[in-house]
Structure 1
Amino acid sequence: MQLSARSFIRRCLAWILPAIALAPMPSSAQTATAEQVTAALAKLEQLAGAAVADGSVPALAIGVVHDDKIVFLKGFGVREAGKPEKVDADTVFQIASMSKPISATVVAALVSDGIVSWDSKISDLDPAFRLADPYPTGELNVRDLFSHRSGLPGTAGDDLEEIGYDRAEILRRLRFVSPSSSFRAGYSYSNFGLTEGATAAAIPTGKPWEAVAEEKLYRPLGMASTSSRHADFVSHANRAALHIKADGAWAARVERQPDAQAPAGGVSSTVRDLAQWLRLELANGSHDGRQLIAATALDQTHIPLMARGSNPVSGGQSFYGLGWNVEFGRHGLSWGHAGAFSVGARSLVTLFPKRQLGIVILANAFPTGVPEGLSDSFADLVFDGKVAKDWVKDWNSIYAGLFGPAVAAAKATYATPPSPATPALSGEAYAGRYANDFVGEATVAATGDGLVLKLGPDGAKSYPLRHFDRDLFLSFSSPELPDMPSAVSFVIGPAGKATSVTIEALDGNGLGTLRRMAD
């Protein structure tokens, strides 16, 4: 079955987001003097301003740390397109998957305190959690989940989040997902795998993950505007809206509530707050003269554990540590991670630990390669004194190339029904209750306007179905791609009624087929 557009976006992001540290290429000896950084910042400010002025993004916020000092904090553009409120260093952004290295820092603090170890078994911390097979279930540890080597397919659980299930129920249902690789043998970037690793590590504290993150990291660093709770994000008046392209212009049309995967993608913060976190990372767990996290616990997060294949931009080799991407690039060793919500968020952090230099860039739009382009340009300016090429243009082309053709192809598949199309059966042939262990129960109801598919807990999500051909219907369920169809197909039994339904958008891991339940 054709991959749905949203599933395709998830899989592309799963590769590109951790891979944002600079491309692996040989590098000459490099320095980062205060003079070099100051000169580079002046040009970075011009580049960022130009990116907002030409409409590449509605807004940016940038923070830079050098030699344990915050040397740059600035916002550019507006919080919401069409409104006058400006972004500044205290504007709160949703940072999506850049939450992962932050969560790794939180777990490092727990390791530092002797509450858990990176090798603590999940079966000891959270005995109710199961993978599909008993051996990895018994051996799985925190390190496995933070390095994405559990065997869980990358998108497992994301689909359940979309239809309204909470964290506990999503994590419970991961046991029904077949592995994409042998245990510890393959890399597969998993939001809910890392979420399980983080929440399990917090269990010995007797507190929820969100409280542990605040207690162990946000509060000690004075990150007063940072939270792992969506309610805290929306409570801020000075917050950035999410933007997607609509008719060629940025529009704030969609919201994203990521509490279910808070450790993997639910942090919201400001560049002022994140600069404090950068300082902590570059100082090996020390902050303002105090050793908040043992260097031995934090160092583990930066060790390359899993080879990820060729970087899609450079062709070089990329590695993943514990919540961090680790690269040996054009400008030496770097640690990095990016984040994105396909409903309108982008984020990026890149650290050069041997140069004591770090940059964080937040944007309120998707898709865009502006954060990567600006980060690469800044590194060139610091280390080479000039920008090697138009990195913003090249990174925007990468995103357009990844998503544009596939989306167009998916639209084309269902652009025109067969001529003549085979009529559908009566609504009663399809109406009924369907279920499987992973998706749960679905209801198809016949209404005066056609068929409606209801999914999620208590049928919370409703999707009108439009007939395409005989027993194939289309659902337009993606808020970021409102004209993108996804197939819903029925198999008709001898009695003239559907015996099963396959929901394409939930079938990325082969679990989208639901069987009819007895009336």
Structure 2
Amino acid sequence: MKSRHPARRPLARIGLIGLLLPAALGSAAQSPPAESEAADDIAEVASVVPLNERPLARSREDAVKPEPLMPVRQPKPLASGFDVALFEAMAQDLVANQRVPGLAMAIVHNGQVLSARGYGITDVKSAEPVDAHTVFRLASLSKSFAGTITGLLVSEGALRWDSHVVDYMPSLRFSDPSAAQQLTVADVLSHRVGLGRNTYDRDIERNADYHDLVQRLSAAPMTCQPGNCYAYQNVAFSLIGDVVFATSGQFFSEAVSRRIFKPLGMNDASYGLEGIQASPRWAKPHVRAGGGWTSLMPKPTYYRLAPAAGVNASIADMAQWMLGQTGHRPDVLPAPLLATLQAPIVGTPPEMRNSSWRRDRLEAAGYGLGWRVFDYSGERVVFHGGAVQGYRGLMAMMPERDLGIVVLWNSESSLPSGLMPTILDRAIGLPPQRWLDVDPNIELLHAQRSPAPAHTPSGGSTTHRAAATPE
């Protein structure tokens, strides 16, 4: 049964204002895009503090005034049941007998990489082991990079969160003549464009050109005015790439590479089909075939939407991404920027019903700037998932515990999805729940073999070891 926390104000009721903290971004004065209440959106404002300490609703006039960030607090410790080697054993069990062909997992805590390893194989037709530098397609995990590169431009004053997209794309048109004039940068990154859910995704799947679909937005039905409702997008989300190009003079993928990949040491990361195919080792996508798996060549379709779904990266890269997003690379990603990106803007209650762990664990759900934000049994979790043919991935952070987790795999199986809630539960000490279909004897066997402390770092040797049985 889902636990209840009456003292906590649910995230589904929080509003826009926590996003835009003028003092936090320093160089550029900010003011929030217009926001009005929708049926399942907002009723109070959010600030960048833990969910259970959010202030009561303020007037819009008070909310837009500059305010300082809350002081950094000492992270809460991980619960005693948090055992990295056990999670590695679970991951290994998932690839046993090719239940899934290949998988990679990273766990970071307090600025250290506790584990970043590969399991299984890259391709059932050519069984090379997945290792820490095997590249996977990230699908919608790419959206966090789009929000971050935009935030870097905002933080240096090159544009504003409330800048209008039409100022950078003068030809942009919607079916409502006034809508394009209203659309802001923050609206795009928080999926508040006003279009129906996943507008033109089916056309992308039929190999339609992105630029042609942007022109066709003028004929797409609108469900609300920009900023007034949430509906997940891929085509419209990718408008942010045009804004980044117009602002920086660099192609979107080049800007991310120069400002994020290279300084963070994400040396395996790339954009696009050409990028993954040029990787020294990459995981092929797999789909069901008879009683097993068959590998495919990746489709170019969603790669055409670089901001929404264009990134390729290894688990070693994603460990560095988690370190950056958890505040341990302020030279690249300053803390005020992270606080802004990871603050919820709009409520997304349907996200609480998408899977068994969400139904049981989530008390509220929202979306920020390229990140989902959940109330996970009283803990703030910053999250995103992604899926495209033959690839899936999940990443999550618990900011108050300074924990980051990424799981990537190269098949359409949903089996590894249970790793994420399993690890989150152990981090906060919830009673074990069977989210993951692995050998129930693993925990007993591991306890007999490995008496090491629960959260002892795995060390450098396991960070790059491929497909090894846990010691």
Are residue 192 (structure 1) and residue 235 (structure 2) matched?
Answer: yes
Are residue 382 (structure 1) and residue 422 (structure 2) matched?
Answer: no
Structure 1, unpaired ranges of 5+: 1-24, 395-519
Q: Please state which structure has a larger fraction of its residues in strand.
A: 1
Are residue 121 (structure 1) and residue 168 (structure 2) matched?
Answer: no
Please identify the structure whose Cα radius of gyration is greater.
1
Cα displacement (A) at 1:70: 1.1
Cα displacement (A) at 1:369: 4.0
Are residue 304 (structure 1) and residue 347 (structure 2) matched?
Answer: no
Are residue 333 (structure 1) and residue 380 (structure 2) matched?
Answer: yes
Aligned partner (choices 358, 371, 374) of residue 324 of structure 1:
371
Q: CA deviation digits over 1:236-266, x for unaligned, max 9?
A: 1310000111113111135222331111011
The answer to whether the 8 Å contact 1:306/1:319 transfers is yes
Letter in 2 for 1:383: I
Cα displacement (A) at 1:178: 0.8
The answer to whether the 8 Å contact 2:103/2:119 transfers is yes
The answer to whether the 8 Å contact 2:272/2:304 transfers is no
Question: Quick one: distance in 2 between partners of 1:241 and 1:203?
Answer: 34
Aligned partner (choices 169, 174, 177) of residue 220 of structure 2:
177
The answer to whether the 8 Å contact 1:63/1:275 transfers is yes
Question: Quick one: distance in 1 between partners of 2:165 and 2:134?
Answer: 37
Identity %: 28
Question: Equivalences for 1:127-146 in 2 at 5 Å?
Answer: 127-146=170-189
Match of 1:295 in 2: 335
Question: Equivalences for 1:417-436 in 2 at 5 Å?
Answer: none
Question: Quick one: distance in 2 between partners of 1:331 and 1:80?
Answer: 40
Match of 2:294 in 1: 251
Aligned partner (choices 270, 273, 289) of residue 317 of structure 2:
273
Question: Quick one: distance in 2 between partners of 1:330 and 1:216?
Answer: 35
Question: Equivalences for 1:101-500 in 2 at 5 Å?
Answer: 101-257=144-300, 258-283=302-327, 287=329, 290-310=330-350, 311-312=352-353, 313=355, 314-315=358-359, 316-330=363-377, 332-341=379-388, 343-370=389-416, 372-384=417-429, 388-393=432-437
Q: CA deviation digits over 1:372-412, x for unaligned, max 9?
A: 3111111222332x762221249xxxxxxxxxxxxxxxxxx
The answer to whether the 8 Å contact 1:157/1:171 transfers is no
Change (3 A) 1:171 1:36: farther
State which drifts further: 135-144 or 221-230.
221-230
Q: Secondary structure at the match of 1:391?
A: coil
Structure-1-length-normalised TM-score: 0.66
Matched length:
361
Letter in 2 for 1:259: Y
Are residue 87 (structure 1) and residue 134 (structure 2) matched?
Answer: no
State which drifts further: 200-209 or 351-360.
200-209
Cα displacement (A) at 1:89: 0.5
Cα displacement (A) at 1:180: 2.9
The answer to whether the 8 Å contact 1:350/1:360 transfers is yes
Question: Quick one: distance in 2 between partners of 1:218 and 1:345?
Answer: 21
Question: Quick one: distance in 2 between partners of 1:113 and 1:157?
Answer: 33
Q: Secondary structure at the match of 1:193?
A: coil
The answer to whether the 8 Å contact 1:149/1:184 transfers is yes
Letter in 2 for 1:309: P
Q: Secondary structure at the match of 2:122?
A: coil
Letter in 2 for 1:255: P
Q: Secondary structure at the match of 1:291?
A: coil
Match of 2:89 in 1: 46
The answer to whether the 8 Å contact 2:98/2:120 transfers is no
Q: Secondary structure at the match of 1:134?
A: coil
Cα displacement (A) at 1:212: 0.8
The structure whose RCO (Cα within 8 Å, separation 6+) is larger is 2
Cα displacement (A) at 1:75: 0.4
Match of 1:19 in 2: none
Question: Quick one: distance in 2 between partners of 1:101 and 1:369?
Answer: 24
Question: Quick one: distance in 2 between partners of 1:144 and 1:247?
Answer: 44
